[in-house]
């Protein structure tokens, strides 16, 4: 299989590409991978250097917002896995325009090209944030979309576009909606990499509000395995939630990171809550588990320890990114 991976120089996309080339994704052994990425602030070629010499790997510098870029690179592929997106909620609060341009219009351009070129398979990678906040229980895939941030609204819009191209045109699409990811090569503006790198440098960490916002944490390797299952076995037109099964408040997670970096609670700097900050996310993964055999494999404590150690060992990777972005 020849797979076109948009946003493959970013966090989740690059993990997917590396795992595919390393033959650790179910059903994708010996697949060829084309990473198509605009290399915006959070995408970096250093995320791909481990696979750059593989004869099964190709990198194309291009933008999903540019139909000519997509049309030039896409022919000959068997599947699209669409990661490319603006994804940092905080940035969407202050400037939503690029989120609409990339996440909505970019997805529409990609869908049009997939349709024109008769690409056999299209998997759209989305987020549990499209459901909005939930006080108790867990969302299943039938939950109505109630996004509360410009980011999640743009992702919900792209989800609906993907669905429409299946219903209207018969395009073989599936949508995945994941919970909060953590892992290596995570751009250091998100909570875990920002907090870990700050703590390693002896700096305080900014904890929003009362710290009681709850998220379900999913190791990026488990997420990528779930996406591979949907790509190879998922039903056309269907949505699949992918979760990790570890729900923690931000305060609980922060304390775990303090312990992992040998810091105390004096390193917590309470800050005003983010506008529109959803209180709790939780996804029901019964559908992907029963239909496709998905189950998260990475225990959270083990995964978090590995991530902290990776950031200890790879300052060369994250220090330039933080300096460049003023983090």
Question: Residue 142's domain is classified under what CATH number?
Answer: 3.40.50.720
User: Do 15 and 116 reside in the same domain of the chain?
Assistant: yes
CA dist 184 to 128, 162, 235, Å?
21, 29, 30
Same domain? 135 vs 196? no
What pLDDT is recorded for position 55?
98
The Cβ-side half-sphere exposure at 12, using a 13 Å CA radius, reads 28
Residue 57 belongs to some domain of the structure:
yes
Answer yes or no: 129 catalytic. Answer: yes
Q: Which of 32, 128, 216, 247 is catalytic?
A: 128
Q: Which of 315, 303, 321, 144 is nearest to 239 (CA)?
A: 144
Instruction: For residues 56 and 72, state if they share a domain.
Output: yes
Q: CA-CA distance, 26 to 32, in Å (whole number)?
A: 14
Cα(125)–Cα(234) distance, integer angstroms: 13
pLDDT, position 124: 98
In terms of domains, do 58 and 87 share one?
Answer: yes
CB atoms within 10 A of CB 72: 12
Shared domain for 55 and 35, answered yes or no, is: yes
* Catalytic residue selected from 63, 69, 86, 151: 151
Unique residue bearing structure tokens 């404590």: 301
In the residue annotation, 128 being an active-site residue is answered as yes
d(CA 71, CA 89): 30
Residue 295 lies in a domain: no
* 162 shares a domain with 47: yes
Supply 50's token pair. 């481990």
Handedness of CA 104, 8, 57, 242 (dihedral sign): negative
Same domain, yes or no, for 33 and 120?
yes
Q: Give yes or no: 201 in active site.
A: no
Name the β-bridge partners of 82.
6, 124
pTM of the complete model beyond 0.95: yes
Confidence (pLDDT) at 88: 87
pLDDT reported for residue 327: 84
Residue 107's pLDDT is: 98
Tell whether 147 and 237 lie within a shared domain.
yes
Q: Is residue 290 part of a domain?
A: no
Q: 69, 129, 221, 247: which is the annotated catalytic residue?
A: 129
Across the 327 residues of the chain, what is the mean pLDDT of every consecutive 10-residue run? 98 98 97 97 95 98 98 98 93 93 98 98 98 96 96 97 98 98 96 98 97 98 98 98 98 98 98 92 98 98 98 97 90
Whether 287 is covered by a domain: the verdict is no
Print the domain residue range for 203: 191-214+246-280+300-325
* Amino acid 72: pLDDT: 98
Report the CATH number at residue 317.
3.90.25.10
Q: Is residue 285 part of a domain?
A: no
122/198 same-domain check:
no
Count of domains for the chain: 2
Instruction: For residues 313 and 208, state if they share a domain.
Output: yes
Residues 147 and 262 in one domain: no
Task: Quote the CA–CA distance of 154 and 148 in Å, as a whole number.
Answer: 10
Residue 286 lies in a domain: no
The answer to whether position 92 is within a domain reads: yes
Report yes or no on 9 lying in a domain. yes
The count of C-alpha atoms lying within 13 angstroms of the C-alpha of 288, restricted to the half-sphere facing its C-beta, is 30
Q: Half-sphere exposure of residue 240, counting CA atoms within 13 Å on the CB side?
A: 30
Residues 256 and 159 in one domain: no
């Amino acid at each position: 299989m020849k797979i076109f991976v948009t946003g493959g120089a970013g966090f989740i996309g690059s993990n997917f590409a590396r795992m595919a080339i390393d033959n650790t994704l179910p059903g994708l052994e010996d697949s060829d991978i084309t990473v198509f990425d605009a290399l915006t602030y959070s995408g970096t070629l250093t995320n791909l250097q481990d696979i750059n010499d593989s004869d099964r790997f190709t990198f194309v510098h291009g933008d999903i917002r540019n139909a000519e870029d997509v049309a030039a690179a896409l022919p000959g592929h068997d599947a699209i896995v669409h990661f490319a997106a603006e994804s940092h909620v905080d940035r969407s609060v202050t400037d939503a325009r690029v989120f609409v341009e990339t996440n909505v219009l970019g997805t529409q351009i990609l869908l049009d090209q997939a349709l024109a070129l008769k690409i056999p398979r299209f998997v759209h990678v989305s987020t549990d944030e499209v459901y909005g906040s939930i006080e108790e229980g867990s969302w299943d895939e039938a939950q109505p979309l109630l996004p509360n941030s410009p980011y999640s609204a743009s992702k919900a819009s792209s989800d609906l576009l993907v669905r429409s191209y299946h219903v209207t045109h018969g395009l073989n699409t599936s949508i995945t909606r994941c919970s909060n990811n953590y892992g290596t090569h995570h751009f250091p503006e998100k909570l875990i990499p920002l907090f870990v790198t700050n703590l390693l440098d002896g700096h305080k960490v900014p904890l929003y509000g009362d710290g009681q916002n709850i998220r379900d944490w999913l190791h990026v390797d488990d997420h990528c395995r779930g996406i591979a299952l949907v790509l190879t076995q998922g039903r056309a037109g269907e949505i699949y939630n992918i979760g990790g099964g570890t729900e923690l408040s931000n305060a609980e997670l922060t304390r775990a990171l303090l312990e992992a970096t040998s810091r105390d609670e004096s390193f917590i700097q309470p800050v005003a809550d983010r506008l529109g900050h959803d209180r709790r996310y939780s996804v029901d993964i019964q559908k992907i588990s029963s239909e496709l055999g998905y189950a998260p494999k990475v225990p959270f404590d083990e995964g978090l320890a590995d991530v902290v150690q990776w950031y200890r060992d790879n300052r060369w990777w994250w220090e330039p990114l933080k300096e460049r972005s003023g983090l």
